[in-house]
Amino acid sequence: MEKNIMESEFYQLKVKKPNGEILEMKDFKGKNVLIVNTATKCGLAPQFKGLETLNQKYKDKGLVVLGFPSAQFMNQEPETNETVEEACKINHGVTFQLTEMVDVNGKNEHPVYTYLKSKKGGFLGRKIKWNFTKFLVDKNGNVVERYAPTTKPEAIEKDILKIINY
């Protein structure tokens, strides 16, 4: 893991919650953050359950799970900022923080994703290929790992344990 000589750029980033309130990454200093682009109608949506399990199991040990809803992949997120939290809670049991709807690629991509992708490219380059791409950020704001959409949340647990105990 890289040393934190200067404050991580990660902590300068912000995103809005679905209700429009600002969520600042600096509020997560000292915590490990799992960031996921989500979509409620995606074939990978069952991963919400695994993400919520990780959230419940490790939130008191310094893990924050952040879901970034995105409709960039075949419009598999039909919800709006007004309805996405309720839909995720009712249909998938989600209690972890969701953000406003975002783009994860392209000219309107959210700065959080520009940063994450600049630190950890994917198998075929930096572009996010599908819903449920995951990034693990350590308590110093360093992007530790990027996971493919098909990587189940349970498979990430060992990496979460490493950085929680670091």
Task: Print the domain residue range for 95.
Answer: 9-164
Percent of the chain at pLDDT > 90 equals 89
The domain that contains 15 carries what CATH number? 3.40.30.10
Determine, yes or no, domain membership for 98.
Answer: yes
Catalytic residue annotation: 42
Q: What is the residue whose two structure tokens read 């970034």?
A: 68
Q: Lowest mean pLDDT: which of 51-55, 106-110, 117-121, 145-149?
A: 117-121
Closest CA to 143 of 33, 69, 51, 52: 33
Report, as an integer, the average pLDDT of 74-83.
94
pLDDT(7) > 90: no
Q: What pLDDT, in 10s, does the model give residues 114-134?
A: 999 999 876 667 899 999 999
Determine, yes or no, domain membership for 4.
Answer: no
- Residue 30 CA, chain-centre distance (Å), reads 17
Report the number of distinct structural domains present in the chain.
1
pTM over 0.75? The answer is yes
